[in-house]
Amino acid sequence: MKLIILFFAFFCSLAFAQVHIEKVTDKGKILEIKIKGSGFGEKSLPIFYDKVGLAYENGVANNNYDSFSPDQLLTKQDVMGNALSPWSNLYGVIYIRDDISLRRGRHTGKFYNGFGVKVNLQNPRVYPRSGTQQESKKVYISWWFRQQNETRNYFQFELSNIDAEFNPKEGDEFSVDAGEHWTGITTIYGRVIAYYPATKILHANYYGQYNTNRLTGNRLTLNASNKSATLAVNTRGPGSNKYIRVWESDGTEGTFRSSWTNTEVYQADFRRVQRSNVVPREWNHLEYFADQDKKYVKTKVNGVVDAEGYYTLPSDIAGHSPTIGLIGQDGTQTEMHQEIWMDDIYLDGSFKRIVLGNAPKYADVTHEEVQFFSSWTDTEIKFSPYYGSLDRKLPAYIYIFSEDDVPNSEGIAFESPPKMD
């Protein structure tokens, strides 16, 4: 039996009047939330939302990948050769997985799993680079991303003077005696990625190091075994590894052509050196914003502004809208060892959105989940709560973002206590 329960909350920070919440429940589970009030403005449904298996295109469900097995490899035929595919192209080895141990939360499902540093999905069919039915000057993109290895401080070294029984394995921690330095830091720490005894090549991360000046010629010592080797010759550096390209049209001169890499964010003449804090071996929430009218670009990692700024060069083609050119990883150093995971890819032509956050004040929110809404009018917003990887032992709160990416400062409470469903 379904039951509608009425809750009230006061909400003034975005010039909204008092709002109240209606919940449609079934056996204690919240099926739908209606936020009633005024001043929400009119909003169309999200353009694209890929939950992996199930995708929504302008609000219409696309079940094309839903029948795929939990460990199915996506082929060119599945994507390029299939007009029902939500994506029009891909690069590299990408699987659709449903491994519970690797899901980002108990309330999530299938996810994409790719191997290599050049592996990505390209061009949503519903919102193509070739032109959109209605041009939008804005784009908002949200997705969850996990990478096995950090790419910014990833170096390959040929070793020499190797101790007997020096046999590092992936995940082994080590230290490097880097000598005296003006910073006072004489020891550099790191993590092994792979080792090839036949060629004496070591792949590893060196924490906080973005060049090899303090590494080459020094001794590396494994923490567990105390065995050592000399970092003799640097054979390859980290290179550029893009998380996303946001393009319109074919990316030629005068079009919008933006990228977010492991070391910088750029669009036209805006370039920001930014070593984004995308934590390896953990799920990270990445967000990209662009406004062509204001010539403005912003990125966020786990809710924290990562890079932000303005460009001046013309970057707008009539009839085209900024959209996902590719998403995943697009690296230049293809010999790197890398594995990536992606989930819940959301794209819209507006910064307006609803999220669930894990704190009653937005200033204290450390985890948020973007919500897919079923309708949005000036007086009512309807959505089914999606908790993702929120901790269900704690309450969740509703936040509504304005067109300027500003949320209500006080969250709207809608559950007490939270349900462990």
9 pLDDT band, cuts 50/70/90, is very low
Give pLDDT tens digits for 270-315. 998 777 789 999 999 999 999 999 999 999 999 999 999 999 999 9
Give pLDDT tens digits for 57-103. 999 999 999 888 878 999 999 999 899 999 999 999 999 999 888 99
- CA–CA dist 338, 116 (Å, integer): 5
- CA–CA dist 326, 122 (Å, integer): 4
- Greater pLDDT, 17 or 152: 152
The dihedral of CA 81, 84, 88, 93: what is its sign? Answer: negative
* CB proximity list for 279: less than 8 A, separation 6 or greater: none
* CB proximity list for 104: less than 8 A, separation 6 or greater: 111, 144, 146, 283, 341, 343, 388, 389
Q: Is the pLDDT of residue 11 over 70?
A: no
- CA–CA dist 107, 421 (Å, integer): 8
Average pLDDT of span 318-340: 94
Give pLDDT tens digits for 111-121. 999 999 999 99
Give pLDDT tens digits for 166-199. 999 999 999 999 988 888 889 999 999 999 999 9
Compute the residue count for the chain: 421
What pLDDT score does 239 carry? Answer: 86
Are 319 and 132 in contact by the 8 Å Cβ rule? The answer is yes
By DSSP bridging, strand 19-26 and strand 29-36 are antiparallel
What pLDDT score does 142 carry? Answer: 98
What pLDDT score does 10 carry? Answer: 43
What pLDDT score does 420 carry? Answer: 60
* CB proximity list for 21: less than 8 A, separation 6 or greater: 6, 7, 8, 9, 33, 34, 35, 36, 398, 412, 414
- CA–CA dist 40, 376 (Å, integer): 8
Give the CA count within 13 Å in the CB-facing half-sphere of 358. Answer: 15
* Exposure b/e, 289-318, CB count within 10 A at least 16 = b: bbbbeebbbbbbbbeeebbeeebeeebbbe
Are 27 and 364 in contact by the 8 Å Cβ rule? The answer is no
Give pLDDT tens digits for 348-392. 999 999 999 999 999 999 999 999 999 999 999 999 999 999 998
12 pLDDT band, cuts 50/70/90, is very low
Got the DSSP string for 105-128? STT---EEEEEEEEEEEEEETTS-
Residue 204 three-state SS: strand
High-pLDDT (> 90) share of the chain, %: 76
pTM: 0.94
- CA–CA dist 166, 224 (Å, integer): 11
